[in-house]
Amino acid sequence: MESLRTLLVDHHDSYTYNLFHLLTEVNGEEPEVLLHDAPECADIDLTAFDNIVLSPAPGIRPIRGTSAPPPG
């Protein structure tokens, strides 16, 4: 099976690295982890990835403004 390149967007929650290990096992390659509020988030080439996974955010927050808008 060919490995998949995954971007894992971290919303500062403790579940992110559970997802990291699961994605590594399933996809055959460690995902690239990027904090949702990191400055480089705006410049990342999303076409370089086979899939994108958003981690859940800690607690309950309003959806608006917690992550970058979807591409397109």
- Structure tokens, 51: 């899939």
pTM higher than 0.85: no
Q: What pLDDT was estimated at residue 21?
A: 96
Q: Residue 46: what residue type?
A: L
pLDDT, greater one: 72 or 17: 17
Mean pLDDT of 23-35: 93
- Structure tokens, 9: 């967007």
So where are the chain's domains? Answer: 1-36
pLDDT, greater one: 29 or 70: 29
Query: How far apart are the C-alpha atoms of 30 and 55, rounded to whole Å?
Result: 15
Query: How far apart are the C-alpha atoms of 40 and 31, rounded to whole Å?
Result: 16
Q: How many C-beta neighbours within 10 Å does residue 11 have?
A: 17
Mean pLDDT of 34-61: 86
Q: What pLDDT was estimated at residue 14?
A: 85
Query: How far apart are the C-alpha atoms of 49 and 63, rounded to whole Å?
Result: 24
